[in-house]
């Protein structure tokens, strides 16, 4: 969730390329020019008149539906399904839609014939504070090429698939990127999570296997150690809240993406149990084999209750999680453990209040105790059914270091679909008593996020 630090001596990265022109952009441009030769344009299906925050029944561009995943937040499988939905927009350009439709038709055939789902996106974030410090502005971009390839049991409950993501994170004309902005005024966590500048990296390569008619799910490879546990439907920094403190409880350790494995068992239509083991020293841009030999792991177990129906599990849920992390000798971090909880419920397919929090010994975490409450509200406008979402959340956190002050964080955002594949999200954050600051000052952070998908 934060930018990379110094490289250990003698370490070799798996993939790490820094370039003024992101590699994803070159590949995407070539793909877009090639795709129109493979199909004749067909108009995109009209969005459902009842599309809401849950988007339970909507038309798609390439026929992608969410696969067998219990992951939340920044998930490859969630991105594939959500970004393929055909939604309404403030502005509509029929000729532009016709121009891009051959690309989506080609992706549909690629999935139908070979089980390969492919998605690309680029998102940018600009943030500015009301402080007189320098710098007080930050901007960053994030391009992604990601997908899944179903190689075993395609179109069956026991599917086996390879998931992958290559991404490039870069500066956009400012001295710092959004993940570094909080350091200018002493906040304990990034106010612009997900927008660092580590260059190009393979951030996910994993095998996902479903067994016993989908009731048992396994995952192993280079994966996230955070998005599986204690995450709500607005946890993604690309669609939801930007402040890390409002995405998940920070009383649990949060290793970067590295080698890990997990298992989920659907005990009934209303209960799921998950457990995972992850490299405690994993860092997203690094070679995952650089640190696995240190044998220092993050262990997590979670039980989920889905009180309504299984297809609403992302929204109607109660989660209890326990975790333990080994001592990280090279980092000087002692062994640590803790407990987190989360609950959310979607009312009338539009209103989703949520609460979450946790406690820990504070030795390996940002906070030793925290609590967050918020709500997401989905909107349909008069002339269109769209994924417009208003979010508001407020949180409190107590650092494990007694010399630091409690921090209070508030954020509100409004995400709206400007055109079919471009969403804009203005946001405002209010940080009260930044934990790492010696002053009892308050800070305002304005942000605007853009997300393009294709």
Total H helices, total E strands in the chain: 4, 16
Provide the pairing of β-strand 422-432 with 442-453: antiparallel
CA–CA distance from 16 to each of 133, 176, 198, 280 (Å)? 32, 19, 8, 21
Predicted pLDDT at 73: 67
Task: Look at the block and give the residue holding tokens 């010399």.
Answer: 403
- The CA distance from 249 to 357, in Å, is 5
Domain positions in the chain: 23-453
Q: By three-state DSSP, how is residue 411 classified?
A: strand
* Local confidence pLDDT in tens for the 454 residues of the chain: 333 333 333 333 333 334 444 444 433 443 443 333 333 333 333 333 334 555 445 688 888 877 656 787 678 988 898 888 877 777 877 787 788 889 999 999 999 999 999 999 999 999 999 998 889 999 999 999 999 999 999 989 999 999 999 999 999 999 999 999 999 999 999 999 999 999 999 999 999 999 999 999 999 999 998 888 999 999 999 999 999 999 999 999 999 999 999 999 999 999 999 999 999 999 999 999 999 999 999 999 999 999 998 888 889 999 999 999 999 999 999 999 999 999 999 998 889 999 999 999 988 999 999 999 999 998 865 545 556 899 999 999 999 888 899 999 999 999 998 988 899 999 999 999 999 988 778 999 999 999 999 8
CB count, 10 Å around CB of 268? 10
Q: Token pair for residue 260?
A: 């890990």
CB count, 10 Å around CB of 442? 13
Predicted pLDDT at 392: 98
- Please give the angle made by the CA atoms of 12, 253 and 229, to the nearest 5 degrees: 105
The structure's pTM equals 0.85
Report CA torsion sign: 66, 71, 73, 79: negative
- The CA distance from 153 to 167, in Å, is 28
CATH class of 23-453: mainly beta
**Best CA proximity match to 117, nearest among 88, 146, 143:** 146
């Amino acid at each position: 969730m934060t930018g990379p630090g110094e490289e250990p001596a003698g370490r070799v990265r798996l993939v790490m390329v820094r370039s003024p022109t992101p590699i994803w952009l070159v590949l995407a441009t070539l793909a877009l020019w090639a795709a129109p030769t493979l199909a004749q344009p067909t108009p995109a299906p009209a969005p459902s008149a009842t599309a809401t925050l849950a988007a339970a029944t909507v038309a798609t561009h390439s026929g992608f539906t969410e696969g067998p995943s219990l992951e939340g937040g920044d998930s490859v499988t969630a991105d594939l399904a959500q970004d393929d939905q055909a939604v309404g927009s403030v502005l509509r350009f029929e000729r532009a839609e016709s121009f891009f439709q051959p690309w989506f038709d080609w992706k549909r055939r690629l999935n139908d014939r070979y089980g390969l789902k492919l998605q690309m996106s680029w998102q940018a974030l600009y943030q500015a504070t009301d402080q007189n410090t320098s710098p007080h502005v930050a901007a960053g971009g994030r391009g992604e090429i990601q997908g899944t390839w179903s190689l075993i049991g395609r179109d069956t409950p026991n599917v086996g698939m390879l998931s992958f993501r290559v991404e490039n994170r870069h500066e956009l004309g400012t001295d710092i990127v959004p993940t570094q902005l909080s350091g200018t005024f002493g906040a304990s966590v990034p106010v612009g999570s997900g927008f660092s500048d580590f260059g190009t990296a393979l951030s996910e390569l994993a095998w996902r296997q479903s067994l016993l008619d989908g009731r048992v799910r396994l995952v192993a490879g280079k994966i996230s150690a955070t998005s599986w546990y204690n995450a709500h439907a607005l946890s993604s920094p690309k669609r939801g809240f930007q402040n890390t403190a409002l995405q998940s409880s920070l009383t649990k350790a949060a290793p970067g993406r590295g080698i890990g494995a997990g298992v989920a068992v659907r005990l009934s239509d209303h209960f799921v149990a998950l457990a995972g083991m992850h490299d405690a020293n994993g860092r997203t841009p690094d070679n995952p084999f650089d640190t696995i030999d240190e044998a220092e792991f993050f262990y997590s177990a979670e039980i989920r209750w889905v009180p309504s129906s299984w297809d609403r599990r992302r929204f109607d849920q109660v989660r209890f999680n326990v975790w333990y992390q080994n001592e990280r000798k090279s980092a000087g971090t002692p062994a640590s453990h803790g407990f987190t909880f989360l609950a959310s419920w979607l009312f009338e397919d539009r209103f989703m209040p949520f609460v979450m929090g946790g406690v820990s010994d504070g030795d390996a975490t940002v906070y030793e105790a925290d609590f967050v409450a918020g709500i997401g509200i989905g909107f349909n406008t008069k002339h269109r059914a769209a994924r417009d979402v208003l979010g508001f959340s407020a949180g409190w956190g107590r650092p494990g270091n007694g010399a630091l002050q409690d921090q209070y964080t508030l954020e509100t955002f409004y995400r709206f679909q400007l055109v079919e594949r471009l969403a804009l999200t203005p946001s405002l954050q209010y940080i009260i008593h930044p934990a790492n600051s010696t002053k009892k000052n308050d800070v305002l952070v304005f942000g605007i996020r853009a997300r393009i998908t294709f």
